[in-house]
């Protein structure tokens, strides 16, 4: 899973923060970067073609919403990062050493639940 580029990331951030699908004009206004409308429109369309944004007609324009959440994106980045090493265990140890105790508790809970699912299957 490739990382988003700078503008892709900024657009996705605005879409994820919104409580409804946004017009390109609304994304442009929220970005407050002095970009051209066509630039934001082009990158938004690219994100739609990549499967990250939904697209629905609103009059003559389109509204864009998230096709997947930030959590799915981050999970994909973690999976990709782990695929880059020959020693996944060492990478996981480094990751676990850097998490807070409450995150470790949640990770333990999730692993236990996944283990139970495997036993049922």
Give the pairing of strands 53-58 and 61-66.
antiparallel
Contacts of 51 (CB under 8 A, 6+ apart): 67, 68
Instruction: Pick the more confident residue, 28 or 116.
Output: 28
Q: What is the pLDDT of residues 6-52, one digit of tens each?
A: 999 999 999 999 999 999 999 999 998 999 999 999 999 999 999 99
**The pLDDT of residue 121:** 73
Q: What is the mean pLDDT of residues 101-121?
A: 87
Q: Is the pLDDT of residue 2 over 90?
A: no
Q: Is the pLDDT of residue 108 over 80?
A: yes
Number of Cβ atoms within 10 Å of the Cβ of 11 = 26
Give me 115's structure tokens: 């283990």
Number of Cβ atoms within 10 Å of the Cβ of 30 = 17
Number of Cβ atoms within 10 Å of the Cβ of 78 = 13
Q: What is the pLDDT of residues 49-87, one digit of tens each?
A: 999 999 999 999 999 999 999 999 888 888 888 999 999
pTM of the predicted model as reported, rounded to 2 decimal places: 0.76
**The pLDDT of residue 1:** 59
**The pLDDT of residue 117:** 83
């Amino acid at each position: 899973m490739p990382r988003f580029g700078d503008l892709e990331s900024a657009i996705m951030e605005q879409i994820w923060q919104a409580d409804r699908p946004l017009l390109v004009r609304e994304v442009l206004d929220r970005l407050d970067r002095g970009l051209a409308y066509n630039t934001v429109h082009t990158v938004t369309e690219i994100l739609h073609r990549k499967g990250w944004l939904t697209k629905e007609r609103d009059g003559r324009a389109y509204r864009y919403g998230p096709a997947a959440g930030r959590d799915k994106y981050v999970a994909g980045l973690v999976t990709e990062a782990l695929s880059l090493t020959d020693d996944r265990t060492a990478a996981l140890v480094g990751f676990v050493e850097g998490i807070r105790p409450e995150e470790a508790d949640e990770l333990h809970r999730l692993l236990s639940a996944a283990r139970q699912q495997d036993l049922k299957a």
